Structure 1
Amino acid sequence: MPAPASGPRSVDRALDILDAVADTDRPVTAKALARRLGCSLSTVYHLLGPLTGRGHLTRTGEGYVPGPRAVALHRSFQRQLGAGLGAAELLRRVRETAGLPAYLTVYRDGRITMIDSTTPATAQDDPFAPGPEVRAHATAHGKMLLAQLPRAVRHRYLDSHGMARLTERTITGAERFEAELVRVRGDGVAVSIGEADPAYACLAVPLTPPGDGGPGRVAHALSVSLPAEDFPRRHGEVRAVLTREAARSVSGGRRP
């Protein structure tokens, strides 16, 4: 029988276990984890011990689920990226005023992440769930954040993440995308209609003044989503809500 993983390999497998549990909607058994990782059941139990002991996972009668430590890590992540009480209040106001899901997205050190939203955690149909944003070129919040970056920094991001065609509306050409970002900077509002998901449109405004995009640079975008079919009649109203609430947040010293 193979010896339990140790050293860096053990760390990788422990993180694989966390990812496997986080990526499912139901408890995951140790046997299922062993099959997914392609390792022995004894190795999986060897790694599950400290993960459950430290609260990163919890064992239930049906299998393993995220533990209470996940909540603390999530809150720390949000706090360090600027999603404090001011951000939560801002999202709540936008949600109540526009009657639409509101989101807070951040760029830091080459990554774009949606860090908070007004959508309940139990929702299954939200097209823009919190987490790493892999469709930045096709979303309004992604466009807004990329538009704030220097050209060289933006190109490094796009070279690293690519510009996959997600729908027939997705912009995948570099020159056309640059022209789109020029429009975003001039207009102060980014728009995506069916580019990331054919059924949805989104609008975004900046919450952070322009910066140099260097190490430690953090930029925020405020956005909402709505059915694409509703965009023609609601885009003016929604844009007004976003720009007003963003200005109110910044002027009131509550910027994320």
Structure 2
Amino acid sequence: MLLDSDSESDVAYELCQVVGRAILPYRSGDAFGTAFFFQDGDDPVGESLLTAADLVGASGGELGLRASVTEPAGVAPAVVSEAEIVPGWARFPGDGVAVLPTGGLHRYAGDGGWRWRVQPVPAGIAAGPEVVARLGADAGSAFVLALGVREDGSRPLEVAIERVVRDADAVRITTELPPGYVGAPVFIVQPDATGEVSLYCLGLVLPGVDGHPVATFDRIRAVLPVTPGDV
């Protein structure tokens, strides 16, 4: 669904309010990306951190901790090394996705005297196969909520308003995104079966040239049940 510019601005603003604290900066070596919290149902064990598989695997990976996602203020460290988190990332290169069950993140926070204050992307807006199937060759509005990379090394929260298309089974963002956007969640709006326009999280950004494939949530959901559970 292609929106007018005013409506796109409204959706971008609303996303920052509703799921702005789902987003974390991720870095592995010289590669910068974005990860985000996803809550699969009401059970806390169903919470995961998601990003692109290509970002994960090199030694020295670390998550940045934005001040807005931890409490009390001034207690959490600036970064968390992924080597300190158990269970760690599960990679699914065929789907382009990496999944980190968040039990280890919550234990790490508790041991350090702080806690997470996040807004996970809820399962209720994750795009199902019927949402993906309604995409077509005509470009629709897409909203990428990410942590960009500034020249001074800062990672501000940004919303890129882009275009998304589907060609057969491939879903793509049609333009190349700035550094830091790989792994970030992609949102769209679409009329549901009753004609009411609803917001959906389509999936996450994968690496690409002159555009980016999107790992859609029907693929992501297929790997969530086989990721390591909370231990």
* Same fold flag (TM > 0.5): no
Using structure 1 for the length normalisation, give the TM-score: 0.26
Structure number with higher relative contact order (C-alpha < 8 Å, ≥ 6 residues apart): 2
Which of the pair has more CA radius of gyration? 1
